[in-house]
Structure 1
């Protein structure tokens, strides 16, 4: 049985959906914190909370593979959650453990989630169970969140950035399902699973201009002024500083690497940022 954690999340739910087209539904299980939110997924659903090892033991029962979708938090708590899930998968006798990491995973990254991924990868490599680390590209859905009022004002205001391999959730979910269904097609970290090009926010402004037929100008904001603007609009200061770290990391080129591996797995072109922005414009209309 293949067990996917976070089965109701944005990535996990799409992985489960894709898996059902590749393996029989009775061979799929999901681990979710709130069973009531799972609805009718058509697969085995069990409660599994990273903060409750006993619940994970039950959720992972009978698993041949466990895919641990990274927690939506940062710092020591995130690593602790991942380690708990890894240990539960080992105890359940899983033959392979997979983890959704990031192409920028590194101890010295300037973006807070990346050292967490690196620490999780390091622990996973020590447990002795075969493992696969999915080195996912940066989620393209982040870009619409960075636009601010650009569609209204004609100005995309954000700190200085660098090229990023913006990659769609749907593509990464499909790739994860393919890798799970192939059982052992990768040992250790995968090549970067990314869109074929890396783009910055100047590129995003250009694409927005083409899609809307009006000029969207990229405006580089001062780092601290941008953070102050965020906190002034109710964003907690620690979160604002973490987001600033993303810009610092992109300036250093941490997310600029691209690879053909994702498109090879999918057997088709990856979803371009243009398509993600077009959906965002349509949703905002």
Structure 2
């Protein structure tokens, strides 16, 4: 049985949907914190069990009978994130899974300027040491994050962010298709995958132009200093630690950590990945 964690989240839900197009429902199980939110999958024959990364006993039940376990990384950073991933990996090993898969990120590395990439690197080290074959999905930076950074710029016409570098923004839907293909073809990747990216690396200067085209509203890109941007976020109530973590994205992009464009994703899904313009059109055209 293939077990998918986080199956009610933005990425996990789409992975399960794509997986059900490839394998029978009785071969799919999901581990979720609130089974009620996964009722639609249960109605289709998917095994739904409660399991959270802070509950080792719950995960043991949720992973029972697993041949593969896909660990969808938690939406946290730092020690808490890594420890939760450790709990999930240990549960997958104890369940006897033949392979553990993990949603990592391009740029994962212990020396990354972005905390999340350092967390992914730490998780990958745990996977290497766990004794079970693993696949680390080096996902491109989520395109929805670009829409999030646009924030109020669509209304104001001014996109004010720190200096950045090119990023291979990648659609959740394409990553879900690729993950389902990898799960259905067990063992097609061993260890970290190549970067699973969109077809172009874009800066926020590029994104401002795309957003203007999509919305029909003018938008200019203005560079803020890191200090000014941080002070602005903290002044709006963002915790200082979170502000520093967000700044890490810009520092990492300036260092070229997210600039790689690789054909592997297109090969896996059998088509060119969605453009950032298409993602923004879906998110912004009505806004």
Q: Does TM, normalized by the shorter one, top 0.5?
A: yes
Contact 1:166 1:195 in 2 (8 A): yes
Q: In structure 1, which of residues 132, 151, 175 is the aligned counterpart of residue 154 of structure 2?
A: 151
SS at match of 1:4: strand
Contact 2:154 2:217 in 1 (8 A): no
Determine whether 1:57 maps to 2:94: no
Ranges in structure 2 where 5+ consecutive residues have no aligned partner: none
Residue 100 (structure 1) aligns with? 103
Aligned length: 284
Q: Matches of residues 128-139 of structure 1 in structure 2 within 5 Å?
A: 128-139=131-142
Tell me how far apart the structure 1 counterparts of residues 215 and 59 of structure 2 sit (CA, whole Å). Answer: 47
Tell me how far apart the structure 1 counterparts of residues 149 and 215 of structure 2 sit (CA, whole Å). Answer: 17
Higher mean C-alpha deviation, range 159-168 or range 142-151 = 142-151
Residue 14 (structure 2) aligns with? 14
SS at match of 1:256: coil
SS at match of 1:100: strand
Tell me how far apart the structure 2 counterparts of residues 235 and 39 of structure 1 sit (CA, whole Å). Answer: 35
Determine whether 1:201 maps to 2:227: no
Residue 127 (structure 1) aligns with? 130
Contact 2:215 2:285 in 1 (8 A): no
Residue 252 (structure 1) aligns with? 255
Residue 232 (structure 1) aligns with? 235
Residue 92 (structure 2) aligns with? 89
Determine whether 1:273 maps to 2:276: yes
Contact 1:65 1:97 in 2 (8 A): yes
Higher mean C-alpha deviation, range 229-238 or range 40-49 = 229-238
Deviation at 1:209, TM superposition (A): 2.1
Contact 2:15 2:176 in 1 (8 A): yes
Deviation at 1:39, TM superposition (A): 2.2
TM-score of the two chains, using structure 2 as the length reference: 0.97
Contact 1:6 1:32 in 2 (8 A): yes
TM-score of the two chains, using structure 1 as the length reference: 0.97
SS at match of 2:107: coil
Determine whether 1:47 maps to 2:74: no
Tell me how far apart the structure 1 counterparts of residues 54 and 214 of structure 2 sit (CA, whole Å). Answer: 44
Q: In structure 2, which of residues 157, 182, 185 is the aligned counterpart of residue 182 of structure 1?
A: 185
Residue 223 (structure 1) aligns with? 226
Deviation at 1:20, TM superposition (A): 0.4
Ranges in structure 1 where 5+ consecutive residues have no aligned partner: none
Tell me how far apart the structure 1 counterparts of residues 283 and 184 of structure 2 sit (CA, whole Å). Answer: 31
Determine whether 1:191 maps to 2:206: no
Contact 2:214 2:285 in 1 (8 A): no
SS at match of 2:22: coil
Higher mean C-alpha deviation, range 172-181 or range 221-230 = 221-230
Residue 266 (structure 2) aligns with? 263
Deviation at 1:53, TM superposition (A): 0.8
Determine whether 1:33 maps to 2:33: yes
Contact 1:22 1:181 in 2 (8 A): yes
